[in-house]
C-alpha cells in the first residue's frame, strides 16, 4: 500500500530521540520532507543526520524549548518556511516526571501543564494557518494509555494528558469540516531511552534484574512485551498519511492490548 506520504511536509515535535524520532524516521523513509525539534542542538542535528542518510531525504533540525510559547511559534514558522508549507503536524513533548499526588510538589503541576498540554495547544495554534493551505492536512497528538487507564506513580501524566485527548476531540469536531484530520495515539510501554532509564533506576532501587522489572511491567499486557519505537511509528505515519483519509477524531492505542476497556 502506498501511504501517499512522498513529498509531504511534516513537522514532528520533540523528536531528537524516542517516539518522536521514530515517527520522523518513518515519515522520512516514506518520502516525506521532515522538520524535527528539541532543545539539544547537537543531539537533534545528529538525529536529523542519521535519518536523512538512511532515507535519502532531507531532515531539518530546529532547536526549540516546547515549554516556551515564543520559541514554539518561531520554530513552527521556521519549519513551514524551510519546508515550503506544512501538511502534517505531530505534537509531542518530553513526559512529566513520575510521582504520586503526595510526592509531587505543587509547582510541578504548572510545569507539566505547560509542557504536556499547552505545548500541543501552541503547536496547533501556530501550525493552523499553514495546514489550512495544505491539500491533505493532518494533525497527530501523542498522548498515552494513561488517558484510559491511570498508571501507578504517574499522577501528572494521568491528570494532564486527558486534556490533550480532549483537545484532539475538540479539534476534530471544529477542523473536520475544513478537511483537517486530527487523531491521537495512546502508546503503551515502548522501548525508548526514557523508559530504559526508568527501568535502570528501579533495578538499582529494588535490587532487581532487568528481566524482573520487565516482567512486572508487562504482566498486564497481553502481548507480554514492550513495543519497539518502530511499532509505534508505523501507526503514526499511517494516521498522518492520505491513506488514512477517513480516520478522524480517533484515539488509537498502540499498547499490546494493555488497555482493558472494551471500547
User: 28, 51 in Cβ contact below 8 A?
Assistant: yes
**Residue 257 grid cell:** 492490548
Position 256 contacts ligand NAD (CB under 6 A): no
Q: Tell me, rounded to whole angstroms, the distance of Cα 260 from its chain centroid.
A: 22
Q: Tell me, rounded to whole angstroms, the distance of Cα 164 from its chain centroid.
A: 11
Position 190 contacts ligand NAD (CB under 6 A): yes
Position 20 contacts ligand NAD (CB under 6 A): yes
Applying CB under 6 A, the site for ligand NAD has a residue count of: 27
User: 99, 109 in Cβ contact below 8 A?
Assistant: no
Q: Report 135-164 residues binding ligand NAD (CB under 6 A).
A: 142, 144
User: Considering only 81-89, 100-108, 173-181, 188-196, which stretch makes contact with ligand NAD by CB under 6 A?
Assistant: 188-196
Position 115 contacts ligand NAD (CB under 6 A): yes
User: Considering only 23-31, 38-46, 202-210, 212-220, which stretch makes contact with ligand NAD by CB under 6 A?
Assistant: 38-46
By C-beta, is 186 or 244 nearer to ligand NAD? 186
Residues in the chain: 263
Sketch the per residue contact string, 50 through 69, with ligand NAD: x for CB under 6 A, - otherwise: ---------------xxx--
Beta-bridge partners for 34 = 10, 59
Beginning with the edge strand found earlier in the chain, give each strand of the sheet holding 251-254 in spatial order.
59-63, 33-38, 9-12, 88-91, 138-142, 181-187, 251-254
Q: Which residues bind ligand NAD (CB under 6 A)?
A: 14-20, 38-40, 65-67, 92-95, 115, 142, 144, 187, 189-190, 192-195
Amino acid at each position: 500500500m502506498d501511504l501517499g506520504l512522498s513529498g509531504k511536509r511534516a513537522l514532528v515535535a520533540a523528536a531528537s530521540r524516542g517516539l518522536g524520532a521514530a515517527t520522523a524516521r518513518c515519515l522520512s523513509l516514506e518520502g516525506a520532507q521532515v522538520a524535527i525539534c528539541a532543545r539539544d542542538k547537537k543531539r537533534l542535528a545528529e538525529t536529523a543526520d542519521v535519518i536523512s542518510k538512511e532515507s535519502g531525504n532531507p531532515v531539518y533540525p530546529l532547536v526549540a524549548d516546547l515549554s516556551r510559547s515564543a520559541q514554539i511559534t518561531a520554530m513552527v514558522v521556521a519549519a513551514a518556511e524551510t519546508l515550503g508549507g506544512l501538511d502534517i503536524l505531530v505534537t509531542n513533548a518530553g513526559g512529566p516526571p513520575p510521582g504520586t499526588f503526595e510526592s509531587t510538589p505543587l509547582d510541578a503541576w504548572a510545569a507539566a501543564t505547560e509542557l504536556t498540554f499547552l505545548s500541543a495547544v501552541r503547536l496547533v495554534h501556530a501550525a493552523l494557518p499553514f495546514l489550512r493551505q495544505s491539500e491533505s492536512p493532518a494533525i497527530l497528538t501523542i498522548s498515552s494509555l494513561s488517558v484510559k487507564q491511570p498508571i501507578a506513580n504517574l499522577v501528572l501524566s494521568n491528570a494532564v494528558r486527558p486534556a490533550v485527548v480532549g483537545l484532539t476531540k475538540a479539534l476534530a469536531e471544529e477542523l473536520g469540516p475544513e478537511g483537517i484530520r486530527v487523531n491521537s495515539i495512546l502508546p503503551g510501554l515502548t522501548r525508548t531511552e526514557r523508559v530504559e532509564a526508568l527501568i535502570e533506576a528501579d533495578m538499582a532501587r529494588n535490587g532487581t534484574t532487568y528481566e524482573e522489572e520487565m516482567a512486572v511491567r508487562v504482566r498486564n499486557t497481553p502481548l507480554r512485551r514492550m513495543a519497539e519505537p518502530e511499532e509505534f511509528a508505523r501507526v503514526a505515519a499511517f494516521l498522518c498519511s492520505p491513506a488514512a483519509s477517513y480516520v478522524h477524531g480517533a484515539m488509537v492505542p498502540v499498547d499490546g492490548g494493555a488497555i482493558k476497556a472494551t471500547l
